[in-house]
Structure 1
Amino acid sequence: MKSINKYITLFLVFILPLNHFSQVKSIGLPKIKNYKRTEYKGGTQNWNIDQDKNGNLYFANNSGLIQFDGSNWHKYSLPNNSAIRSLKIDDSGKIFVGGNDEFGYFKSNNKGEFKYFSVSKLIPKNQRKNINLIWRIHIYNGEVVFQSFTKVFFFKNNKLRSIDAPNKFQFSFLINNRLYFQDKILGILEYKNNKLTPLAGTTALNNSEIWAMFPLPDNKLLIATLERGLFTYDNHTVKPWGTEANIFIKKNTSLGGTIIKNKFIVLNSVLNGIAICDMNGKIIQHLNHQKGILNNTILTSFVDNKNNLWLGLDNGITFINENSPFTYFDYSYNLGTVYASVIHNGYLYVATNQGLFYHPWSKPFNDEPFTRVEGTIAQVWNIQVIKNTLLCASNSGALIIEENKVVKTLDSRGYFGFKLIPNHEDYIIGENYNGFSIFKKTPSGIEFINQVEGFDETTNTFEIQLDENYLWLKKDPYLYQMTLSDDLKKFVFIKKHSQINPYYKGIGSLQQIEDKIYFQSKNHFFRYSKEQENFFEDKKLSALFSKVPSINTLKEDAYGNLWFAFNESLGVFIKNKNDNYTLKEAPFTNLTGNLVNNYISINTVDPSNIFIGLTDGLTHYNSETSSDYITKPKAFIESFSFPGDTIVTGNINTDEEYNIPYSSNHVKFTFSSPTYENQENVKYSYKLEPFDDNWRNWSTMSIKEYTNLREGEYTMKVKAKNSYGIESDITEIHFTISPPWYRHFMAYIIYFIVALIAIYIISNRIQLKIRRNKYYETIEQRRLYLEKESKIRHEQHELEKEIERLKSDKLQIKILAKDKELVNNSLQVVKKNKILNGIIGKLKDIDTNILDDSTKFEFNKLHKSIVKEVNTDKSWKDLEKHIKNVHFEFLKRLKEKYPKISPRELDLATYLLMNMSTKEIAEIMNISNGGVELARYRLRKKLDLNKKENLIGFLMSI
């Protein structure tokens, strides 16, 4: 495979034209940006283009002068509102313009507004109507030259002189600081020493309109005529230029042109856009309406300060990014989304979502689109050269392509791609929608052998580790490690890895670098050790990617360069001769968002021919193109406006400081950056000091307003960042907002004086009031003293009453305590009497007849003593009294709540509250046990209690 690449490289170096290494590329289309009249708000036709030192562009338009600063369009008209056909900008910034019977210049005033100054007013009034159209303007030897059909005017130091046309002028040309005019009869005239001198042999072109002249090597001139084609002039003879460019002009009519870096000639046409040729007349690039230009009639062309091309059209404006290493194959070449590309047998093959397409590699790409390979109409995932056979992996199956058509379908299942199997010569493994298949290269060609059993997962990324015979397959979120059987019919070993390192979660990508398999996670690269059965990190490769964003795809091309994708963007580490790498990211920022996710396609034919697949076609990248096109952008505060005034700061020096009244503290800024390559990706960041603490985030918005700013000094700073990520220098403007009249310095002085007067008056009034108030204060203090004394006496009386009440409460508490103590004692006596009655009963049962007289006497004496003790004890009555005293509050609440309750029932409630037994209650109340139960029943009815409610608990709750 490497030997084939060497042959291709030799072919490209020695056979293909050298213009591959120049600025204008013959492969693909440059990026084209069109501006319709609805955008620039002008007329349809644009006759001339120029650029000022700030990078702003100007267009001579049917409706006036059009200015474009990269963000905004502005229009300026001539006093007679005529179309402007010519313009030229001098070193001082004056914009000289010419129209119908009018010419002069625009110059910015102190507010940056363009004001028109008429030079034609220096001509006597009776001659102004004979000025005619001013078609060309030149700056020659310090003079501004205005050329019409009848005269040529020379303007310098506010003075004007003129020369009449010998017969009738057509156009004029400034070539290598030599000024030429075409006269209808005398031919081409050169202006020198204030005279017009005819050039020998140029009358041969008298019947032709000359629209452009270009310098050629050996002091020759190339002359472009309207309809007769291109001619060369060698100071004596006019000859037709027998080249491709001449054929193009003869066929499509010339409207002039321009020259790029003295290497390429841009030829404008009426019928077919532009053709860009080299100095030998070979057409390098042809752009027309079909390839993206708004229309085919090119009135003027202009090369800007970055060697990019601007076209003034019959209807609109076109920008062509010629100074770029990228060109594109888009819909005009019949290409859709590109998944892979390869060069084989002199053809460039491109795998797309609409089939497989091809284009002859050795033939120019100017006008011929890609052709679909016959038999490939479905999705094509890959196109590869394996064993010198072109294999196509598509939705229709595994296909063999020969002579730009499908000659054999190896397998009808859908395929993603193919790989050679190590240690198995002539065997190929292919990944299909249902797993893997085996193919073999035989004398009769590649043949399908078998489907590999044991695995049916699918993905578009798989690699084989060449030294260990493992097949590694990444399918999120897993990495599969598999071993094929010796007969290649099944997988004998399958292991699934969810991570390759415990410190870095996830598996980012799987890639083969220098014939070794690497596994990447968070920009850390690992290899697998079969002996240790573990992954180990390659510190050198990890260090290489340590300073780039986290990548998701990595591919090594045929030259050892490492291409990586991140955040829908692309970058590359270019491998140097000493095996070191150089990082390139900036050139690819313009591809951001256009890459095909998970299908990064890089086809490095050689450093000058690199093809990258996009979602809308294919891009060609020449890595050897000079990086001069990547320059630092400029940032301008294009305008600074506030109520009542606008300052177009983009047209003047911003060193001046502006004073704004407080009533106009609502300010507005517009930003611009005259960067036209990928202008939609230009971003701005700004900061208003001291209002903003930090720079605002980058944004494509080029307008910012601030309202209700306080008085003070402010500095507005802005910077721009182009699509390559390069920041501009900071541009700033200073302004001061005056305070309102009530916060002015003089106002504060007046406030101070008024304050002093007010303090004096108030001080006198306060002293008077103090003296007056002292008298009333004395009376008031006397009254307050008496009131306080009376209050103290009243409080003393209340305190004495409170003391008496507390003494009474204390006595009552003591009595209540004594009652409680008596209750307890009475209950003890009651219990004692019960015991004594029991003893009496038992004494009665004793037979005294058996006792002797002395014993009987003592027995009777004891019996009488006990009976006397029981009869004389009044504890029952004392108990009842004490119980009522102790539970007085309870009895009071019960009586208030149930007025119909009887005294007897109150006693019963009291005994129940004391948790006395039925027998005890019966003895106290002198009733039977049944009588107690009946009394309890009646009490429940009085209290409206149901059967389930507890009587004692109810009484305790009262």
Structure 2
Amino acid sequence: MPNLKNYKRTEYKGGTQNWSIDQDKNGNLYFANNSGLIQFDGSTWKKYALPNNTAIRSLKIDDSGKIFVGGNNEFGYFKADEKGELKYFSLSKLIRNKDSQNINLIWRIHVFNGEVIFQSFTKAFFYKNNTLNVLNAPKKFQFSFVINKRLFFQDKVLGLLEYKNKKLYPLKGTTVLNDKEVWAIFPLRDNKILLATLEKGLFVYDYNSVKEWNTEANTFIKRNTSLGGSIIKDKFIILNSVLNGIIICDLNGKIIQHLNRQKGLQNNTILTSFVDSKNNIWLGLDNGITFINENSPFTYFDYSYNIGTVYASVLHQNKLYVATNQGLFYHSWNTSFTDEPFNRVEGTIAQAWNIQVINNTLLCSSNSGALVVKHNKVSKILDTKGYFGFKKIPGHPEYVIGESYNGFSVFKITPSTVEFVNQIQGFDETTNTFEVELDNDYLWLKKNPYLYRMELSDDLKRFESVKKYTQVSAINKGIGSLQLINDKVYFQSKNHFYRFSADQDGFFEDRKMSRLFNKIPVINTLIQDSKGNLWYSFNESLGVLEKSGGGKYIRKEAPFCNLTGNLVNNYISVNTIDSNNIFIGLTDGLTHYDAEISNNFITKPIAFIESFSFPGDTILTGNLEIGDKQYCLPYRDNHVKFTFSSPTFENQENVSYSYKLEPFEDTWRSWSPLSIKEYTNLREGNYIMKLRSKNSFGVVSDISQIKFIISPPWYRHYLAYLIYILLIITGIYVISNRIKLKIRKNKYYETIEQRRLYLEKEAKIRHEQHELEKEIEKLKSDKLQIKILAKDKELVNNSLQVVKKNKTLNTIISKLKEIDTNILDDSTKTEFNKLHKSIVKEVNTDKSWKDLEKHIKNVHFDFLKRLKEKYPTISPRELDLSTYLLMNMSTKEIAEIMNISNGGVELARYRLRKKLGLNKKENLIGFLMSI
């Protein structure tokens, strides 16, 4: 089976049936669908409808790119407008009224001798230079065909007719086809043509008589009916069937390939087939579209052939044997590999790890043990332990060593028998992931992360020595793979190849071998096939160094890119029978590779910028001839979007794109499968959008590009800058004149201002002088006040001294009163009385206290006024106390002045605090000073 891909109607958003297919010069595919014209560019589908929304039954694209279509009573063409949108132009309007009746369905369209021919059952319309000529069917047309530059019509009564010089000429002996619907005509050798009919089979016509084509293909068509077909590479014929998919046969009628629903098609009714520019096949189905990758050296045997994961394959006695996870299978081998499933070898139902031919004996290594296979069944079970494979033992031609699940065993193979000999003692570890090779001296086993060197005894019963290595080079750590190349054991580490020297008991590098892999990614497996080619795996991919003359190799990796991810890790299987038949094991089957097929199937892809969008408009550039055309966008449309396409239909999911927008980006963006890119808020300027695509083989396309200009905003337009310059010049002129006028005015006002400043300065000096005088007066007043206060203090002190003096005198008076004068003589009594009167007079005539009170009240008049206004209920006595406290007099002094005790002063203070509304923590004197 080739690789194929189905497209359902949910993907292409169209109707079920697809009647005709064609391809334009850009590689885009077009399908005549029940819902209209379907376009596919490899990444996106687009649909275009006829004006009457009817189905399209036929289409053809001419060299100018016009897409001619035909439907029910309607035909014309689609052509891209200036924005790349496909617009429909009806040609049926050109028909004269008398010919416009009963046009019917347009089933075929041909481009022939510069004319476009639209054929229905009743008429054929010839279009050229915007004129339409009509050819009426002699009786009733069936279909028409262009073969070998000749145009044929089938008439229901007259048989095949050839159109020449605007006339129809019957072909000899073709009236036998009148009861048969001819759906396709193919050229054959010897100037013969093959006629494919709907239900009657295949016929050969030599321009004299019609004969049945008795071949495998004819038998198939008779059984399944035919809906035409196509020819591929001028060597093979594709025949569409109604009931059973398609067959591909050679020009001798031998069926080469049969594809139907069981083989992967989504429908068995094939309405049309088309061979594209790369010789791949497109099928228009009764429900859907299918792509078949025929132009490839690979074909596949998958689950439909009864095989699963393939671990090994071998050709033996004209049969191909395949070891799979479900057992051992075989298929008969001959030149024409018949399209039949593989059969299971009887007795193998478990995992089969390997299948080998040793000494003309077929040995199967499986989970069930070591098996001998003869006549498509297990003839003998040599050992019931699980085995991975067998190797010949150098120097012992009749003996082989087998790798089992727990060590190694020896078997003897003779032309008449195969026998288990013994288990080899000295090593019994499980070797699940392993590589093993033998040379003349040792058996080498690689079991991660170690490499074992084991020496077999001469009697093959034990390992005389077992040595373990963790590396073969001090520079390149680790052990990558173990392989036998040209009968020599090589040890690979990071693409450097080493061999073992028994004399030096060490490893040395084979630089010639290492040079072969110098530019190859680090490999993990290397296999030499029967032709000396070196197959290697890396990163789940496969490559080969094909051996050529002179000991040189040709490196090939691109053809195997499509196998990436499908190889069986640690069990790479390559079976080279010859250059035409190479089998490679996969996780989901077996692939057949033909190395002789030219590598022209790996072609350079084409990259298209499919659409160019900006706010309010979209240009489908993929439908246009861009050339050096440059699009101009206003600044408001500086948000642009591009979509990409590459009409590469093989492994389309692996197509990737790289792009850059110059001069916005200096480097190419990394490869990505995304086919859309947006840029926002681009500045004005010239831009070039460049695009490359890369197909699944790693081939890069030429660069496709679109040029566009983003105009600057109006305020950055060159006309705006011109206006800005004129405005600046005008502004400079106006400002210059205004400055000159201002200067003249300023000189006038400057004189006035200087006069004003002089007067203000003079007034300010006078004011400052006045203020200075006032300050002096104030200082004098303050100084006087300070002197007054000092005098007040001095007066208070003096008054207190007077009070004390008076108090002392009163005390003396009291003491004098206590003296009994009767005891005194008269003179003394007289003197005593004089003294008493003198003291009393002194006390009574002293007015210093009243003067003190008056002076204090004069000095603190403002304070007493404010206090009285703030606290109207305060008594005169409390006013006096407040004054004394303000003067910072002590309790003792206040008591003496007020002639009360110290306790009385404290009581008076308490009452004053209460009247003033002060709590215990507030300072009374501070409060009074704040008033």
Q: Name the TM-score, length of structure 1 as normaliser.
A: 0.77
> Secondary structure of 2:514's match?
helix
Cα deviation 1:644-685 (Å, max 9, x = unaligned): 111111111112100111111111111111111111111111
Q: Aligned AA for 1:449?
A: V
Distance 1:765 1:478, change over 3 A: farther
Distance 1:578 1:762, change over 3 A: same
2:363 pairs with 1:359: no
Contact 1:564 1:571 in 2 (8 A): yes
2:513 pairs with 1:557: no
Partner of 2:577: 605
How far is 1:460 from its partner? 4.4
Residue from 637, 643, 648 that aligns with 1:664 = 637
> Secondary structure of 1:750's match?
helix
Partner of 1:711: 684
Residue from 52, 55, 58 that aligns with 1:80 = 52
2:247 pairs with 1:275: yes
Partner of 1:217: 189
Cα deviation 1:322-381 (Å, max 9, x = unaligned): 111000001111111111001112211111111111111128554421112222222111
Distance 1:781 1:281, change over 3 A: farther
Residue from 373, 392, 412 that aligns with 2:364 = 392
2:644 pairs with 1:634: no
Deviates more, 1:358-367 or 1:572-581: 358-367
Contact 2:23 2:276 in 1 (8 A): yes
Contact 1:459 1:474 in 2 (8 A): no
CA distance in 2, matches of 1:542, 1:101: 71
Partner of 2:774: none
Partner of 1:15: none
CA distance in 2, matches of 1:464, 1:564: 17
Contact 1:295 1:314 in 2 (8 A): yes
How far is 1:609 from its partner? 0.4
CA distance in 2, matches of 1:780, 1:615: 110
CA distance in 2, matches of 1:440, 1:371: 29
Residue from 242, 255, 261 that aligns with 2:233 = 261
Distance 1:208 1:765, change over 3 A: same
Deviates more, 1:760-769 or 1:457-466: 760-769
Distance 1:735 1:531, change over 3 A: same
Partner of 2:693: 720
2:463 pairs with 1:491: yes
CA distance in 1, matches of 2:334, 2:474: 52
> Which structure 2 segments of 5+ residues have no match?
766-931
How far is 1:288 from its partner? 0.7
Cα deviation 1:825-856 (Å, max 9, x = unaligned): xxxxxxxxxxxxxxxxxxxxxxxxxxxxxxxx
Contact 1:570 1:589 in 2 (8 A): yes
Contact 1:568 1:595 in 2 (8 A): yes
Distance 1:325 1:778, change over 3 A: farther
Partner of 2:662: 689
Partner of 1:71: 43
- Count of residues in Structure 1 that have an aligned counterpart in Structure 2: 756
Q: CA RMSD in A?
A: 2.2
2:648 pairs with 1:675: yes
2:425 pairs with 1:453: yes
Partner of 2:158: 186
CA distance in 2, matches of 1:446, 1:173: 65
CA distance in 1, matches of 2:98, 2:51: 18
CA distance in 2, matches of 1:252, 1:30: 22
Residue from 376, 389, 395 that aligns with 1:417 = 389
Alignment map for 1:312-351 (pairs within 5 Å): 312-351=284-323
Cα deviation 1:600-619 (Å, max 9, x = unaligned): 00000111000000111100
CA distance in 1, matches of 2:296, 2:750: 93
Alignment map for 1:384-783 (pairs within 5 Å): 384-442=356-414, 445-457=417-429, 458-467=431-440, 469-654=441-626, 655-756=628-729, 764=738
CA distance in 2, matches of 1:552, 1:780: 105
Contact 2:435 2:481 in 1 (8 A): no
Q: Aligned AA for 1:691?
A: F
CA distance in 2, matches of 1:648, 1:727: 23
How far is 1:129 from its partner? 4.1
Larger Rg: 2
Q: Per chain length, whose mean CA-contact separation is higher, i.e. which structure has more relative contact order (CA < 8 Å, sep 6+)?
A: 1
> Secondary structure of 1:633's match?
coil
Partner of 2:848: none
CA distance in 2, matches of 1:572, 1:511: 15
Alignment map for 1:19-168 (pairs within 5 Å): 29-125=1-97, 127-168=99-140
CA distance in 1, matches of 2:759, 2:276: 96
CA distance in 1, matches of 2:495, 2:15: 54
CA distance in 2, matches of 1:348, 1:496: 39
Partner of 2:866: none
Contact 2:393 2:438 in 1 (8 A): no
How far is 1:770 from its partner? 8.3
Distance 1:152 1:529, change over 3 A: same
How far is 1:297 from its partner? 0.5
CA distance in 2, matches of 1:70, 1:739: 36
Cα deviation 1:881-917 (Å, max 9, x = unaligned): xxxxxxxxxxxxxxxxxxxxxxxxxxxxxxxxxxxxx
Q: Aligned AA for 2:390?
A: F
CA distance in 1, matches of 2:411, 2:419: 5
Distance 1:423 1:187, change over 3 A: same
Q: Aligned AA for 1:747?
A: A
Contact 2:433 2:448 in 1 (8 A): no
Partner of 2:347: 375
CA distance in 2, matches of 1:625, 1:617: 22
CA distance in 2, matches of 1:395, 1:206: 64
How far is 1:115 from its partner? 0.9
> Secondary structure of 1:413's match?
coil
Deviates more, 1:736-745 or 1:174-183: 736-745
Q: Aligned AA for 2:354?
A: N
CA distance in 2, matches of 1:197, 1:444: 74
Alignment map for 1:214-253 (pairs within 5 Å): 214-253=186-225
Contact 1:570 1:588 in 2 (8 A): yes
Q: Aligned AA for 1:63?
A: S
Distance 1:408 1:652, change over 3 A: same
How far is 1:756 from its partner? 4.6
Partner of 1:879: none
CA distance in 2, matches of 1:443, 1:540: 40
Deviates more, 1:263-272 or 1:400-409: 400-409
Contact 2:224 2:242 in 1 (8 A): yes
Q: Aligned AA for 1:608?
A: N
> Secondary structure of 2:10's match?
helix
Q: Aligned AA for 2:724?
A: Y
Cα deviation 1:43-78 (Å, max 9, x = unaligned): 111111111111111111111111111111111111
> Which structure 1 segments of 5+ residues have no match?
1-28, 787-958
How far is 1:487 from its partner? 2.2
Partner of 1:907: none
Q: Aligned AA for 2:717?
A: H
Cα deviation 1:861-892 (Å, max 9, x = unaligned): xxxxxxxxxxxxxxxxxxxxxxxxxxxxxxxx
Q: Aligned AA for 2:234?
A: N
